[in-house]
């Protein structure tokens, strides 16, 4: 029995934050040392940050990364650590994992498979390392091995699969197993998406089983660079058995997940597996180093319960926790002094306000008030707290963190077309969240702009002839005041547009799209409505429900930009949101033509006539093409699934196009033919 304690650390890093990244790395190393860990896996490119983008091409970045590596290496006395950084070799830049043992750099393993789809652009910066090749590189005054290499540290054989290496069919793990690897380390920068954690669980477990090894997976944590959110979730498995699972969506700078592995046991599993064929070639690519492992007593095996991740509302929980963490990290890394939300009393702005409040509640719940406030020390003063839990009574029904009034400001901006219903809903929700609340009326501004333009063009404006312009001016005059308040506070204005609206341009540019961050622009309206009902009735595990949302959830979604007597609703303006979202998925995610989209949705929405569905399909495609320029101008949004419409990271579409005219004509002809057949039969 050869027992070794291994660990995976998830780190909350920031691109080009040399001191902050180094501090987190050193803190994780020291925590691992105190825990008796011998092998520590840190995330991909943890020294520089993963999201440096074109800054990777800066010679200064590469030089500084090596300097920081040289500063960290001596701090690894008594422990084996993987450190990620870019490395320039023969004019090509490579994504590498440097293995350091007992204060000494051993070598650099280069990533073989680059992520170049979806939000990933690794081939723009890096080159894939060819399988089976090894080179020598001069680093910090010495020569070190680079490439497709693995290591023997005191008799323990260690290999790497770097993030994408484990997601491909011909993953390097099979070759490492044939060369006698005992442990495979996977330093990753795997962004959050709904359901993605289960995929990681599968490849870690299957890798450990199929290769007969112990597998240690580490990941980034938090909102690293602005758009992608990393959920952490370290994993350790051995021979097909899960040994340890780290928490996800932590607000801490790092989290350590440890387990004890039995190297003799995995070696015997390989030896008695009939399909295992060890390599008979000389192991020239193995880097050897002395290392003394401590003698350990067996520890009881225990995998922590997964809590909310095994419940019935996993997607709702993931959304709440991912966006809350993303908001908090964006706030502090941009050094903004709180959030401001133009709270209309509708679904979208209510969801944004709740997420901003939960950022404080979840953070304080995990870190405690003192550590949470220390992360916001740049705001100038620590918000007072009433008790050790960091909570005070707000409305007599529940308690909220005392920091929330400092962090969240909500404003209701009324016009003559606003209803008492939405005003009361906004006030009730802001009160329940413990937010600071203001309200003001912008009617005089609307009237002034309308009068100026009416005088200039020589006629009065009317709802019958100028409907869209009169709607938009109301949304636009709300923008300067909310920006003024935001600027006065040095805060972050949150835009409230959702993905369904972005798809068809149902938003006023420089109006409701105003903001520095658009946290729900990647989420469809139908899910937001379901999520708010869940939040009203249940809420995240460990927090609470928000009953005040009942006043929001009982309303049909409406922009309230037309006179109240016209009873405006979003779905009357557009189409039912469930239909819109299904059309969007088929047209944009799955790339179907208009006719194919129609054929796909016809069987699902049988309550609507074929003519009505065809009309909505055509409306979607026309609005989609017409409004690409709006999507290009949206504030940064968070990526949460493969249905994102962000043209800067996921869904590229020309601003100017032919508008699917030929395809829409094909759809109309098909519906007309089938309609005439039905009427004649």
All structural domains of the chain? 3-292 (3.60.110.10), 309-573 (3.40.50.620), 575-681 (1.10.10.1140)
Mean pLDDT on 197-223? 96
The pLDDT of 385-393, averaged and rounded, is 41
pLDDT bucket at 304, cuts 50 / 70 / 90? low
| Half-sphere exposure of residue 350: CA atoms within 13 angstroms, side-chain side | 34
Q: In this structure, what DSSP letter does residue 312 have?
A: S
Beta-strand pair 39-41/3-11? parallel
Q: Which helix (H) or strand (E) holds 391?
A: strand 391-393
Three-class SS state of 168: coil
Q: Is 481 helix (H, G, I), strand (E, B) or coil?
A: helix
Does this model's pTM top 0.75?
Answer: yes
Strands 229-231 and 408-414: unpaired
CA proximity to 13, closest of 57, 65, 63, 54:
65
pLDDT at residue 393 above 70?
Answer: no
pLDDT value for 337: 96
Q: Are 425 and 345 spatial neighbours (Cβ–Cβ below 8 Å)? A: yes
Pick the range with the lowest mean pLDDT from 159-163, 297-301, 406-410, 498-502: 297-301
**pLDDT band of 283, cuts 50, 70, 90:** confident
pLDDT tops 90 at residue 70: yes
How far apart (Å, rounded) are the C-alpha atoms in residues 232 and 248?
Answer: 5
CA 20 – CA 160 distance, rounded (Å): 26
- Average pLDDT on 20-33 reads 98
Note the pLDDT of residue 678.
65
The two tokens of residue 459 are 């006629």
Q: What is the mean pLDDT of residues 473-485?
A: 95
As a whole number of angstroms, the distance between CA 544 and CA 551 comes to 17
Q: Is 547 left (phi over 0), alpha (psi -120 to 50) or beta?
A: alpha
Distance CA 405, CA 383 (A): 9
Q: For residues 187 and 278, which has the higher predicted lDDT (pLDDT)?
A: 187
pLDDT at position 390 over 50: no
pLDDT band at 274 (very low <50, low <70, confident <90, very high): low
**Are 30 and 289 a contacting pair, CB within 8 Å?**
no
pLDDT bin (cut points 50, 70, 90) of residue 311 is: confident
pLDDT-derived band at 559, boundaries 50, 70, 90: low
Q: What is the mean pLDDT of residues 203-232?
A: 96
Maximum Cα interatomic distance, the chain, rounded to a whole number of Å: 92
Question: Encoding tokens for residue 269?
Answer: 């599993």
What pLDDT score was predicted for residue 606? 95
The whole-angstrom separation of Cα 61 and Cα 55 is 7
* Strand, coil or helix: 427: helix
C-alpha pair distances (Å), 448 with each of 122, 426, 455, 564: 51, 26, 11, 21
Q: What is the mean pLDDT of residues 37-43?
A: 98
Q: Please list the residues that pair with 578 across neighbouring strands.
A: none
What residues form DSSP beta bridges with 153?
Answer: 156, 289
Q: What is the mean pLDDT of residues 260-289?
A: 80
Average of pLDDT values for 301-311? 78
The residue written with tokens 């000494």 in the block is: 104
Given a cut of 70, is residue 382 above it in pLDDT? no
Percent of the chain with pLDDT over 90: 84
What is the three-class DSSP state of 216? strand
In which band, very low, low, confident or very high, does the pLDDT at 30 lie, cut at 50, 70 and 90?
A: very high
Helix (H) or strand (E) holding 613: helix 610-626
User: What pLDDT was estimated at residue 14?
Assistant: 98
Closest CA to 258 of 296, 307, 302: 302
Residue 388 has pLDDT above 80, yes or no: no
How crowded is the C-beta side of 49, counted as CA atoms within 13 Å?
25
Distance CA 101, CA 154 (A): 10
Q: What is the mean pLDDT of residues 652-672?
A: 96
Share of the chain above pLDDT 70, in %: 93
**Residues 525, 511: Cα–Cα separation, whole Å:** 19
197: confidence class by pLDDT, cuts 50, 70, 90: very high
Which of these, 581, 638, 579, lies nearest to 607 by C-alpha position? 579
What is the pLDDT at residue 457? 96
End-to-end CA distance of the chain: 80
More confident residue, 642 or 244: 244
Q: How confident is the model at residue 404 (pLDDT cuts 50, 70, 90)?
A: confident
Confidence label for 642 from pLDDT (cuts 50, 70 and 90)? confident
Average pLDDT of the chain, as a whole number: 92
pLDDT at 624 over 60: yes
CA distance 601 to 464: 34
CB 659 within 8 A of CB 653: no
Instruction: Look at the chain and count its residues.
Output: 681
Q: Is the dihedral of CA 512, 515, 518, 520 positive or negative?
A: negative
């Amino acid at each position: 029995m050869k027992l070794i304690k291994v660990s995976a650390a998830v780190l909350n890093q920031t691109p080009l934050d040399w001191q902050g990244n180094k501090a987190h790395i050193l803190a994780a190393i020291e925590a691992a040392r105190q825990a008796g860990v011998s092998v520590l896996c840190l995330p991909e490119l943890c020294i520089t940050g993963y999201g440096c983008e074109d800054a990777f091409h800066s010679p200064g970045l590469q030089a500084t990364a090596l300097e920081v590596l040289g500063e960290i290496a001596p701090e690894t006395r008594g422990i084996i650590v993987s450190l990620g950084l870019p490395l320039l070799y023969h004019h090509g830049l490579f994504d590498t994992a440097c293995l350091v043992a007992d204060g000494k750099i051993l070598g650099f393993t280069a990533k073989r498979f680059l992520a170049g789809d979806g939000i990933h652009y690794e081939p723009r910066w890096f080159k894939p390392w060819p399988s089976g090749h090894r080179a020598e590189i001069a680093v910090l005054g010495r020569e070190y091995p680079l490439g497709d290499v693995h290591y023997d540290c005191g008799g323990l054989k260690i290999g790497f699969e770097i993030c994408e290496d484990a997601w491909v069919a011909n993953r390097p793990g099979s070759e490492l197993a044939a060369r006698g690897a005992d442990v495979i380390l996977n330093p990753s920068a795997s962004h959050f998406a709904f359901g993605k954690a289960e995929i990681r669980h599968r490849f870690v477990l299957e890798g450990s089983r199929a290769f007969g090894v112990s597998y240690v997976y580490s990941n980034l944590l938090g909102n690293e660079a602005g758009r992608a959110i990393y959920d952490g979730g370290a994993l350790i498995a051995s021979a097909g058995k899960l040994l340890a699972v780290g928490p996800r969506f932590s607000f801490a700078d790092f989290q350590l997940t440890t387990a004890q592995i039995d190297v003799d046991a995995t070696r015997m599993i390989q030896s008695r597996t009939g399909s295992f064929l060890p390599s008979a070639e000389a192991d020239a690519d193995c880097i050897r180093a002395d290392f003394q492992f401590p003698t350990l007593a067996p520890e009881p095996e225990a995998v922590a319960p997964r809590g909310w991740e095994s419940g019935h509302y996993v997607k709702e929980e993931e959304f709440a926790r991912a966006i809350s963490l993303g908001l908090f990290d964006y706030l502090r890394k941009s050094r903004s002094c709180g959030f401001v939300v133009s709270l209309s009393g509708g679904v979208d702005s209510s969801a944004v306000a709740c997420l901003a409040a939960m950022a404080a509640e979840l953070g304080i719940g995990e870190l405690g008030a003192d550590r949470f406030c220390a992360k916001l020390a740049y705001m100038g003063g620590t918000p007072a707290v009433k008790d050790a839990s960091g909570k005070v009574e707000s409305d007599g029904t529940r308690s909220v963190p005392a920091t929330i009034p400092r962090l969240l400001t909500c404003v209701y901006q009324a016009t003559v077309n606003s209803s008492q219903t939405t005003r009361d809903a906004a006030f009730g929700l802001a009160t329940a969240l413990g937010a600071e609340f203001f309200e003001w009326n912008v009617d005089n501004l609307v009237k002034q702009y309308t009068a100026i333009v009416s005088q200039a063009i020589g006629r009065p404006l009317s709802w019958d002839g100028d409907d869209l312009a009169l709607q938009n001016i109301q949304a636009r005059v709300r923008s300067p005041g909310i920006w003024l308040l935001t600027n006065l506070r040095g805060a972050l204005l949150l835009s409230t547009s959702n993905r369904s609206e972005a798809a068809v341009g149902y938003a006023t540019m420089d109006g409701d799209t105003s903001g520095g961050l658009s946290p729900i622009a990647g989420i469809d309206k139908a899910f937001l409505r379901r999520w708010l009902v869940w939040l009203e009735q249940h809420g995240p595990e460990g927090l609470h429900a928000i009953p005040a949302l009942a006043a929001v959830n009982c309303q049909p979604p409406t922009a309230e930009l037309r006179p109240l007597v016209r009873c405006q609703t979003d779905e009357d303006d557009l189409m039912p949101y469930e239909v819109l979202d299904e059309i969007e998925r088929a047209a944009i995610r799955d790339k179907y033509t208009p006719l194919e989209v129609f054929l796909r949705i016809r069987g699902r929405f049988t309550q609507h006539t074929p003519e009505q569905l065809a009309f909505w399909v055509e409306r979607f495609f026309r609005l989609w093409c017409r409004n690409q320029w709006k999507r290009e101008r949206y504030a940064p949004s968070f990526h949460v699934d493969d249905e994102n419409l962000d043209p800067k990271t996921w869904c590229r579409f020309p601003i100017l196009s032919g508008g699917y005219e030929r395809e829409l004509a094909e759809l109309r002809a098909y519906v007309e033919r089938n309609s005439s057949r039905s009427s004649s039969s």
